[in-house]
Amino acid sequence: MAQPMRIRATMAGDLADVKVLMNHPMETGLRKDAKTGKLIPAHFITEVTATVNGSPVLAAEMSGGVSKNPYLGFKVKGPKAGDKVVVNWADNKGDKNSAEATIG
């Protein structure tokens, strides 16, 4: 089971500023375990999506080149305070995670 994400959404003028910290190991599959010398299997987020009140506002693809516990920040024009933002990710091992926040 994936660790919870931290998500914050605030209004800045007519833009919603969304900040997300995704807890994930983000292994490339190229790093060796220091004790065994064996490669650590690849384990990374492959896609991220975001919606505001159910309407898609972001779709992104990621790979193993992104650091552990990635941070994602984006702005969306049009939402209002009180609207709901939902961010989802899926990784190469089939694990998924979702978090939501109310725009403040």
What domains can you pick out in the chain, each with its CATH number? 6-102 (2.60.40.10)
pLDDT, residue 3, reads 86
Please give the Cα distance from 45 to 89 (Å, whole number): 7
Q: Which amino acid is at 25?
A: P
Sign of the C-alpha dihedral computed for residues 48, 90, 42 and 20 taken in this order:
positive
Residue ranges in the chain whose pLDDT is less than 50: none
Residue 69, phi then psi, degrees to nearest 5: 50, 65
pTM: 0.92
